[in-house]
Copies of this chain bind each other. A is one copy, B any other.
Amino acid sequence: MATHRFDPTFTDRVIDAMGPKTSPRMRQLMTGLIRHMHDYAREEELTVDEWMAGVKMLNWAGQMSDDKRNEGQLVCDVFGLESLVDEITFKLAEEAKDAPTATAILGPFFRADTPWRQNGEDIVKSKPADAEMAFMQGRVMDFQTKKPLVGASVEVWQASTNGLYEQQDSEQVEFNLRGKFKTDEEGRYWFYCLRPTPYPVPDDGPAGKLLELMDRHPFRPAHIHILATCEGYRPLTTQIFDRKDKYLDNDSVFAVKDSLIVDFVPRENDPEASLELNYDVKLVKDEASTNGV
């Protein structure tokens, strides 16, 4: 504990105010939160004005958030926090069992109401003039047995070439560049999409303001979001990144992992797409559900 010249009993008094009905995990989380918050304020000698500027940012984030946008999440993302808790959660799961495909953050543009589509369908419903079309395919399989998983769901979402997801852009039809696919009897999914392009995270709110204050660019490397689920298996949230992207080493939300970098390769004899991407998803059995716990 650093020495300081402020009331040495204060932090313990705040922690000790917790009553006996606090759950053990909540007590642990709140104790750590209060200690770090107070240590931070004392170490940096945070003033009332600086703290109040922070409060305004937080309130602003909430005020910008709605069904289609989660600015509080984006603020965490630019500090690398979502990527870090993702790493922690993955490590805990890995230690409990085996390693599934590396995970990545869900991000603020996921929509719970994305529609089902047929395998082979094109998710590009509003096609930009500079579109580079890709055919994506793969299998969903059991991580341990490599057995294909039939009837698994593969949900994907991506931004258009102008850097906007459909809910951010009135020029795109609803659910453009999104879709949920069900794997066939061989565990396969396939569809057409855009080769993803880099884009800046929205910079009209506190996350953008923080990036500006930290003199950082807002760009994310080109990626496709994937959420794969199958009954009896743990859901997997991931993102796959184009190896050729120039922002791979400095993603504004720090979500890139080496194992998530993929290669788009030329596709022959398909008038619909000039590129092809093969990506298999491995899911880990959910002990809680398979053991009936």
Contacts and interface: CB of A to CB of B under 8 A. Distances in A.
Interface residues of A, number: 76
Given A61-B59, A61-B62, A81 B48 contact: no
Interface in A27-48: 27-30, 32-34, 36-48
Contacts of A39: 36
Contact of A213 (B22, B71, B250): B22
Contacts of A64: 62
B254 A214 contact: no
Residues of A contacting B: mostly: helix
A71 B59 contact: yes
Contacts of A14: 79-80, 254
A170 B70 CA distance: 32
Nearest to A85: B51
A36 B40 contact: yes
Interface string A48-79: 11111001101111111100001111001001
Interface in A233-277: 250, 252, 254
A18 B88 contact: no
A91 interface: yes
B10 A87 contact: yes
Contact of A62 (B27, B47, B52, B59): B59
